[in-house]
Chain A
Amino acid sequence: MSFGVENLTVRFGRVTALDEVSVVVRRGEVTALVGGDGAGKTTLLRTLAGLVEPTSGTVRRPGVGRLGYLPAGAGSWKNLTVAENVSFIGGAYGLSGADLADRADPILERAGLADARDRLAGQLSGGMKTKLGFSLAMLHSPDLLVLDEPTTGVDPVSRIELWRMISEAVADGAAVVMATTYMDEAERAAFVVLLGDGRVLLSGEPDELIGSMPGTIVETDAPVDSSLAWRVGPVFHEWFPWTVPDGLTGLRPDLEDVCIAAELRDRLIPVGDTQ
């Protein structure tokens, strides 16, 4: 069973935020949405969560109360303690007493929040806040978890812990769709969707995307065309959509290279003119 959107278009006035986007989010998998600022990631997630009504297209989401949502930069009520946040969300989903404790205790334990039950959410560190938000979003064992950049601004250790929690939710059968700005995270997803200007530029499994990248990426100290190059540590990576100049050899790209190349192709080269 899967969720997602098909031929989804969302317009805000004259601005087209999403244009004929189709994404499938399968149970037991993480689907990662990547793309630059304004690509449409948050609009897609908010539409999936039922917060934005589509202009056209189809949205498939679980029934009432079967969806968990973690908006960017939020997720908990800062003037409530961790325990009070849990109690509020549990109450809203009809969980209380022993049922709530049975569900919440292991989640808080795994989130490293078991000893912080009496602390105000507003006084938690950034990583702890995000883990609390995630814990609250999955407290009711949702079928679909919608996460908007849950790891942005979170320290590396908390990111690892958060990913462990996401993996556990997936193992429990949840469908997870998340926006991320980190390509290493996207590579861990079962399915990756690259959005650009409200359109799907690439979609597929990470290896599949890497294998099907058009053109060639080379590593160089002196790019031939700086508009097609980007810095990676001390060197540059440069994308050649057609032929590679003599003396340069292509490298095996990673997902970040592929996504940058796809965005460059979309911006600089007319569709279908990459051969």
Chain B
Amino acid sequence: MRAMILKEFRELRRDRRTMAMIIVFPLLMLIIFGYAANFNVESIPTAILGPGAEQVAQQAPDLFDVTVVDSTGTSETAQTLLRDAEAQVAITTDTEPPTAFIDGSSLFAAGKAVGALGRLGDRITVDILFNPDLITSWVLVPALIGYILMFIGTVVTSIGLVRERENGTLEQLAVMPLSPVAVIVGKIAPYFILASIDMVIVTVLAMILFSIPFVGNVLLFGVGAAIFLFVVLGVGVLISTVSQTSGQAIQLAIFFLVPQILLSGMIFPIEAIPWGIRWLSYFMPLTYYTKISQGIMLRGAGLDSLWPAFVVLTVMAVFVFTGAVLRFRRDLTPHRVSEAPVQPEGAPA
């Protein structure tokens, strides 16, 4: 048994990725969970509208971070601001008592706002939009759709590509009269199609099972998902280019996937994450997809408010996909050890 234990340690010592999993991953989880696992929202972006806006803004408790004060604003303005995620609470003073519109798709902020405003009794009317009963699944499922796309895009795609390497068939593809682009597109197109089908199934099922509304533009939702898919498929291809085995690919994919569950706003509100960790959220594609899917499905947000998320995802898609294609292309072309003449048939020796 001693020999077996010794052999296992020796193997582990040389398996740097597994060692990294054992040492780095728990530390990563500790730091991320320790800092990010916070449901407690301490500041809620708030808009105060209507004739008494200035006065109400001055009296607003610290919880409500007044970012918009508009004395000409109406209830319609308030709903637009919430739909476009420019505020999570919008108080209109053109009614008596004033009305506080709360964005129910920002679950924890909404809960906190409802609690704080509830203490004012009948001095304010509370109207929760987009998710009136503050149902968790309504908020979670749109983000979960992104997570499913991400799982297929990274784990399944990278395994599919690494399998070619493991089976030794990647070299056969390399000598066949197929361009690297044809090989890459041919390899990932099925995953793109399957992930898209999965997305449709999950979205429709979520609407049926959990009565989740879909109030926005379906086409815009599809475009957002397609751009996001390009990003995650690119990550999958990148993972495959630095993995020799399926196991290695899965390890790397876990490193990519797990932090996104915690930091993308899927579970914990991004606003509640300290800046020391929060900046990581803005490098994660799921952060932007979650904004898009929740915005379109629950709030009916359009491109006029979601364009920043679309732009960031598009830039990510271009960079990641280009990098992935270039790296994969390298696997399919001769290993360049130095410059040397390679003559076609018939050329002089």
Contact = CB atoms under 8 A, between A and B. Distances in A.
A173 to B, nearest CB: 14
Interface in B138-185: 167-169, 171-172, 174-178
A60 B340 contact: no
Contacts of A49: 171, 175
A71 B166 CA distance: 12
Interface in A185-222: none
A85 B174 CA distance: 16
B337 A54 contact: yes
A52 B345 contact: no
A60 B168 contact: no
Contacts of B341: 58
Contacts of B178: 92
A93 B177 contact: yes
Given A1-B346, A51-B174, A57 B340 contact: yes
15 contacts: A6-B349, A11-B337, A49-B171, A50-B174, A53-B337, A55-B337, A57-B340, A62-B345, A66-B345, A69-B171, A74-B168, A74-B172, A77-B167, A77-B169, A89-B176
B4 interface: no
B344 interface: yes
B58 interface: no
A3 B344 CA distance: 9
B22 interface: no
B190 to A, nearest CB: 13
B3 interface: no
Most interface-central of B168, B178, B346 (chain A CB within 10 A): B168
A55 B339 CA distance: 6
A59 B171 contact: no
Contacts of A61: 342, 344-345
A128 B177 CA distance: 25
Contacts of B349: 6, 58, 60
A55 B340 contact: yes
B347 interface: yes
A10 B337 contact: yes
A56 interface: yes
A67 B337 contact: no
Contact of A54 (B167, B174, B342, B347): B342
A159 interface: no
A26 to B, nearest CB: 13
Interface residues of B, number: 24
B345 A56 contact: no
B177 A92 contact: yes
Most interface-central of B178, B341, B345, B346 (chain A CB within 10 A): B345
B337 A63 contact: no
Nearest to B336: A53
Interface in A70-109: 71-78, 89, 92-93
B59 interface: no
Given A56-B340, A72-B168, A74-B168, A93 B176 contact: yes
A74 B169 contact: yes
Contacts of A55: 337-338, 340
Given A52-B335, A53-B334, A56-B340, A63 B345 contact: yes
Given A11-B338, A50-B334, A65-B177, A71 B171 contact: yes
B169 A54 contact: no
Contacts of B172: 69, 71, 74-75
B337 A12 contact: yes
Interface in A7-43: 10-12
A64 B346 CA distance: 14
A50 B169 contact: no
Contact of B177 (A3, A52, A64): A64
Nearest to A78: B167
Contacts of B337: 10-12, 52-55
Contacts of A69: 171-172, 175
